[in-house]
A and B are shown apart, each in its own frame.
Chain A
Amino acid sequence: MSEPVVEIRGLRKEYAGRKGRQVAVADLDLTVREGEVHGFLGPNGSGKTTTIRMLLGLATATRGSMALFGRPVPQALPEIIGKVGAVVESPKFSPNFTGRQNLLLLARSVGVPAPRVDAAIETVGLAGRDGGRYKTYSLGMKQRLAVAATLLKDPRLLILDEPTNGLDPSGIREVREMIRGLGEAGVTVLISSHILAEVQQVCTAATIIGSGRTLASGTVAELLGGSTSQRVVVPEPAAARTALEAAGLRVTGGEDHALLVETDRPADVTRVLGEAGVWLSELTPVRADLEAIFLTLTDADRLGGPEPALPPTAPRTTEPAA
């Protein structure tokens, strides 16, 4: 197993507010391994951005430990920040400077030569528009400039907080391709996003958080794991249910002659029903997506309900909120 690039243990952040102390992050754990494109998922206000800000030294943790490349954060940040590119929340640049001026200032602060600025501008497709004032940029162009800023340092870890916010479909696809390309080039990427279909397409692993704590974490394959079901349509659903349950399979549904059988092996379904003399009209494998997993976990966390029925192989790092 590859080395962890990001390692967070028991992270907690409390704010002193008028209504007493408010907990933004509560004993959160997160591990991102080298070469992963890691999705960091959670509903609004779940503590994603706060966690990222603490990891980057913009906010102080109340408790817990953080490490980047095996070095403690924030103590070792000056030595390792050169390997970390990050966009936190919305892009933040000086509005009266041009895109190029904004990048030049950042580049000079870490001794990056001007040609690298040109290369970053070229990479994100802002060539020809970099001379315009930042305040005249569209949201998509601002996002691109923020991504260009992260590329100035030739990062080994890229942290992107909602990188596709405000982008049009082609922009989203470009960012997706860029992230995929960076992942293939060996750059570790931690990406927080609401667009779960996006995450599922580009991420190799994910951590789902709710109310500031980790709800589940693992590779995307692990999270989706045994969540494949078979949807069968039969003329005699009652007889089919009886036969399938007798064979030890879990069956739900039953409306419109359709049953949902929890198994990733369709052959088991056809064999059992064939032996029972029930003939299939239709059999469709149904795969749960990350969105379903996310909603199951976060709804249970939000409602304080019972432990959600996750796929058996999906690792759960902490118990959902009671």
Chain B
Amino acid sequence: MIRLVGVELTRLRWRRAVLILVALGVALTAVVFVGVVVDSRSRTIEQVAADNGPQVLEEVARCVDHPRQYGQPKDAEDLQTRCEDTILGYYGVNELNLREQREAGSGPALVALLAVILLLAGTTFVGHDWNTGSMSNQLLFEPRRLRVWAAKAVAVTAVTGTLTVLVLAAYWTGLWAFASARGAPIGEHAVEAAYKQVVLGTAFVAGAALLGYALTMLLRTTVGSLGLLLGTAFLGIVVVWTGWGGAESLMPWTNFVAFVVGGYDYYTSGSCNGYDCESLTHHIGRADSSVYFAVVLLVVVAASMLSFRRRDVP
């Protein structure tokens, strides 16, 4: 088995499409990192006014004159500073905040981006074997099909997992370093929470790659797998659009946010009394989303293994 995993790791390393996707994942992470660092760099109100015009300073003056309109207390001692920070925020200048990045910023976006890219890597890796017919050649050397399936799965999961943990750890370490260097406030447990997201994100991305691999082993075509995934996503959008109350709890995106961030809240309208409608709050916890993704993965993996074990190989 170890020998077979080694062979599959070599096959992965030699596959050009996989290498391109891995490089794309690393490059896009670097781009996101640079974007976050640049966007959160320290800028004075005068610098922003020089770039955007005198209305910036006029807006600050209005804030100082009518602080409540800008959500500021009237008698604050540092009103000028508060107003400048508020107006800077209007112009996209925000201090680097690890918690914000992790909960609703680049953190979940990056995990989603890597998941899509490495799902494609898992899909194309084995889709190539089916497309070229080389799968039958491999089985002429190792006829134990479940071993072949497992060796490829281990290789895909190990490579995508290792890559993700390295990329995400480097990303958060970099953000932490920049925040520290700039003297930005770093909340208690913010770094711990960021590394926890590294672990969760790694699990999610490796699972997505495994899902792509298993689905392609089941359908035996990259195009078919991607078509099915896109079709499912489209169907999800249609279901949400119809307004069915339970739809959001079944959507991959809401469950993804719940898994990576720790929870997701959504609202549905309850009973209406005249114009007064009651709004119901629903919460998807990490445990719920873990079960959701585990069930999806297990169903696809089981079907894939069973199919590969029993069906004729062209």
Residues of B within 8 A of A (CB): 3-4, 6-7, 10-11, 14-16, 128-129, 132-134, 136-144, 310, 312-313
Contacts and interface: CB of A to CB of B under 8 A. Distances in A.
Contact of A92 (B3, B133, B310, B312): B133
Interface string A91-110: 01111110001101110111
A17 interface: no
B127 to A, nearest CB: 12
Contact of B134 (A53, A59, A94, A110): A94
A316 B214 CA distance: 48
B132 A59 contact: no
Contacts of A105: 7, 10-11
Interface residues of A, number: 31
B140 A93 contact: no
A111 interface: yes
Interface of A: 53, 56-60, 74, 77-78, 81, 84, 86, 88, 90, 92-97, 101-102, 104-106, 108-111, 149, 153
A293 to B, nearest CB: 31
B6 A108 contact: yes
Nearest to A88: B136
A81 B10 contact: no
Contacts of B6: 108
Interface of B is mostly: helix
18 contacts: A58-B140, A58-B312, A60-B312, A78-B143, A81-B143, A93-B137, A94-B128, A95-B132, A97-B14, A102-B134, A105-B7, A105-B11, A106-B138, A108-B6, A108-B7, A109-B4, A110-B142, A149-B137
B141 A81 contact: yes
Given A58-B136, A78-B143, A88-B136, A111 B312 contact: no
B141 A93 contact: no
A57 B141 contact: no
Contact of A108 (B3, B136, B312, B313): B3
B133 A101 contact: no
B144 to A, nearest CB: 5
Given A104-B10, A108-B10, A109-B138, 13 more contacts: A56-B140, A58-B139, A58-B140, A74-B143, A84-B140, A92-B132, A92-B134, A96-B15, A101-B14, A106-B137, A109-B141, A109-B142, A149-B137
A94 B124 CA distance: 13
Contacts of B7: 105, 108-109
A59 B140 contact: no
